[in-house]
Chains A and B, each alone.
Chain A
Amino acid sequence: MNDPARPTGASAVTAIPLARLIEAFHRLPGIGPKSAQRLAYHVLRAPQSEAQELADALLDVKQRIRLCGLCQNLTETDPCGVCLDPARDPSIVCVVEEPLDVLAVERAAAFRGRYHVLHGHLSPMDGIGPEQIKVQELLARLGAPSPSDTAAASALIEEVILATNPNLEGEATAAYLARLLVPLGVRVSRIAHGLPIGSDVEYADERTLHQAMEHRVPLGDADGNRISVSAPPAAAAEESDRSAQPTP
């Protein structure tokens, strides 16, 4: 007769520390039971120093990483490097959903302002409202600096760019934030929508095409003047006005 307290099957032949490690890896997102086993056996076969390095890195990240008091991004120092960087424009704040979105925008090297990380988006059907994301912190940056704000942070913010994801929740979050921010007297803009580079018009959905048409960029005006594609619409309009002037 089987003893119910005694492990059976695979767990019976796996040592308890190893089973614990497999179980720990299995809890990570995207890691199935087989991958968890492979990772655990890799750690087991690796030199002691490599395992120690992994363990130290895990503990280090938990102990030393916190949220920046201003932008709410993950940081080791508070305020973070971006918020303290004098080369960055403090008058423009780009609002993103997750810390990984900051990395994506930084990779594009198209923005030199500061950030605000919401750590999520509104998700009405999951019960995630404004209180569950960093909305109050954003409002505090714009309206009433809290005692923890530094002089660098309280500099006047002139524009907020809403760079939440272009899906239903991201759009709802952006629309909600716009309602709160516009009355504060700050310019609020939304990142452009349209077709991604390298895609096919044939496969685009109606809403994307609709947005792409609505936010189209002029290439030339009615007087036969070319407009630079890379210039933003406002700059392009100015360029068009300038080129329409007779040369002295």
Chain B
Amino acid sequence: MPQPHVYRTEAIVLRQRPLVHADKVCVLFTPLHGRIEAVAKGVRRTRSHLAGHVEPLTRSRFLLAKARSLDIITQAETIDAFPALHDDLDRLSRGLYAAELVDRFTDSAADGTRLYQHLLDTLHRVETADSPDLPLRWFEMRLLDDQGYRPQLQQCVRCESPLRPDGNAFSVPAGGVACPECRTGLIGRPLSGRAFKLLRFLQTAPYEQSAQVRIDAGLGRELEGHLRGAVELALDQEVRAARFVEVVRSTSADVHNGKRAAAPFVERRAQGED
């Protein structure tokens, strides 16, 4: 049976890159076709009908035409523009981090229904949660699970004895937690008892329950370090948007502390250090 020349799909736009003239290549993440790269023609022009519907971190309905190399977006209609995500730099940086994880982990022609739902939920949660970081940690845990990199948090990765809460280490290369007796000689970082309990909880609890947990800044950073390490090892590369999250977080802290955020840059410049 001949394949249809056009097809419809819903997708979240993960990213864009310029093509020739006013065209861009959009990376779409779809529930049924996985990751698709498609051409959005003329979207750099101000009068483009497509431009607003194919912006990164937008969920839209698409009509795509099959082409020899990249499919072509012929129509698009926004379902959810995630306005609160786009209007807040802190939330936007986290949304981009989630999108990059999906972009790096997934490939084309893979059924992405479960991951699509996780990404969609995560973007909504990042939009509304008090702290936009917790939805990311929960998402990282699901993503690792989904891709076959579930960290071992129940038994020691070396001796397989049941883990006690304190004195453990999180060893990314070993794939999970090592007990106090086995941690010597393993590449890993100390894992506090609170972080250990929370990691276990995140691995099994639904998000709604996880969102009830109060996490202070120190615990949040510890969790982030362990899970980002696991994600980057699974990817075998750095997550670039993580750097942006750090930059935004530093300016955010300066704004909240009432500091002159630009001062360090200006001082360096004045001293001729750059």
Binding site for B on A (CB under 8 A): 29-30, 122, 124-127, 129-130, 135-136, 139-140, 142-144, 146-147, 167-168, 171-172, 175-176, 179-181, 183-184, 196, 198-199, 203-208, 210
A122 to chain B, nearest CB (A): 7
Contacts of B233-274 to chain A: CB distance below 8 A: 240-241, 243-245, 247-248, 251-252, 254-255, 259-263, 265-270, 272, 274
Bound CA span A196–B46, Å: 6
Question: Which residue on chain A has the smallest CB distance to residue B241?
Answer: A124
Question: Which residue on chain B has the smallest CB distance to residue A143?
Answer: B266
Q: Which of A143, A167, A205 contacts B81 (CB 8 A)?
A: A205
Bound CA span A29–B21, Å: 9
Q: Which of A29, A142, A172 contacts B92 (CB 8 A)?
A: A172
Residues B83 and A183 in contact, CB atoms below 8 Å apart: no
Bound CA span A179–B254, Å: 9
B249 to chain A, nearest CB (A): 11
Q: Is B47 an interface residue (CB 8 A)?
A: yes
| Known A127-B243, A146-B269: A206·B81 in contact at CB below 8 Å | yes
Residues A175 and B100 in contact, CB atoms below 8 Å apart: no
What are 9 A-B contacts defined by CB distance under 8 Å? Answer: A30-B20, A136-B269, A139-B266, A140-B265, A143-B263, A144-B269, A168-B57, A205-B81, A206-B52
Q: Which 4 A-B pairs have the closest CB atoms?
A: A205-B52, A124-B244, A143-B266, A127-B240
Question: What 1/0 mask marks residues of chain B from 24 to 56 whose CB sits below 8 Å from any chain A CB?
Answer: 000000000000000000000011010111011
Residues B266 and A207 in contact, CB atoms below 8 Å apart: no
Question: Which residue on chain A has the smallest CB distance to residue B248?
Answer: A176
> Which residues of chain B are near A198, meaning CB under 8 Å?
47
A132 to chain B, nearest CB (A): 11
Residues A30 and B21 in contact, CB atoms below 8 Å apart: yes
| Known A130-B247, A136-B274, A208-B52: A183·B57 in contact at CB below 8 Å | no
Question: Which residue on chain A has the smallest CB distance to residue B54?
Answer: A205
Bound CA span A136–B273, Å: 12
Chain B interface mostly: helix
> Which residues of chain B are near A146, meaning CB under 8 Å?
269-270, 272
Q: Which of A29, A125, A167 contacts B55 (CB 8 A)?
A: A167
| Known A125-B103, A176-B251, A204-B52: A140·B266 in contact at CB below 8 Å | yes
> Which residues of chain A are near B52, meaning CB under 8 Å?
204-208
> Which residues of chain A are near B99, meaning CB under 8 Å?
125
Question: Which residue on chain A has the smallest CB distance to residue B247?
Answer: A129
Q: Is B226 an interface residue (CB 8 A)?
A: no
B14 to chain A, nearest CB (A): 8
Q: Which of A139, A144, A168, A176 contacts B56 (CB 8 A)?
A: A168
Residues B260 and A183 in contact, CB atoms below 8 Å apart: yes
Q: Is B189 an interface residue (CB 8 A)?
A: no
Residues B46 and A140 in contact, CB atoms below 8 Å apart: no
Question: Which residue on chain B has the smallest CB distance to residue A126?
Answer: B240
Q: Which of B20, B58, B83, B89 contacts A172 (CB 8 A)?
A: B89
Question: Which residue on chain A has the smallest CB distance to residue B243?
Answer: A129
> Which residues of chain B are near A130, meaning CB under 8 Å?
247
Question: Which residue on chain B has the smallest CB distance to residue A168?
Answer: B56
Question: Which residue on chain A has the smallest CB distance to residue B270?
Answer: A144
> Which residues of chain B are near A136, meaning CB under 8 Å?
265, 268-269, 274
Bound CA span A181–B265, Å: 12
| Known A144-B270, A196-B46, A199-B47: A180·B56 in contact at CB below 8 Å | no
